[in-house]
Amino acid sequence: MSDELLHRQLEIFSSEAENDYILRIKSRIEELINTDVNLLFSYLYRLDIEEMRIKEIIQRVEPDFFSEALAREIWVRQKERTRQKQAIKVTPIRDKDWEI
């Protein structure tokens, strides 16, 4: 694993709860690798995991650690998305044409 990728992942994981989530994600990844790898890549696309990151993990991570590295990357991305959503406040639309 590249130093940059490893550093990026490790700096974000601090709590026991996060590690539990990562283990759950890892388990699902392993299941999808064995049953439907196309669905796994579809999920990665929908989760907005950068293709460059996926390629880097595939090329640099040993096969025994692939699912864990991918799980950590998913967790990193989800935390980034949460931070972005918190930082950007969207005011509600007040136009009557938009009311349901």
| 37-46 vs 16-35: helix crossing angle, rounded to 10 | 130
* Angstrom distances, CA of residue 23 to CA of 26, 40, 44, 51, 88: 5, 16, 17, 22, 30
Q: Quick check: is 73 in a domain?
A: yes
Q: What is the tally of structural domains in the chain?
A: 1
Q: Quick check: is 74 in a domain?
A: yes
What's the pTM value of the predicted model, to 2 decimals? 0.73
Q: Quick check: is 63 in a domain?
A: yes
* Section 41-57 average pLDDT: 94
Q: Quick check: is 2 in a domain?
A: no
> DSSP letter at 100?
-
Name which of 38, 47, 49 is nearest 5 in CA terms.
Answer: 49
DSSP string, 42-64: HHHHHTT--HHHHHHHHHHS-GG
The domain in which residue 74 lies consists of 18-83
Q: Is the pLDDT of residue 69 over 80?
A: yes
For residue 4, the model assigns a pLDDT of 64
Q: Quick check: is 3 in a domain?
A: no
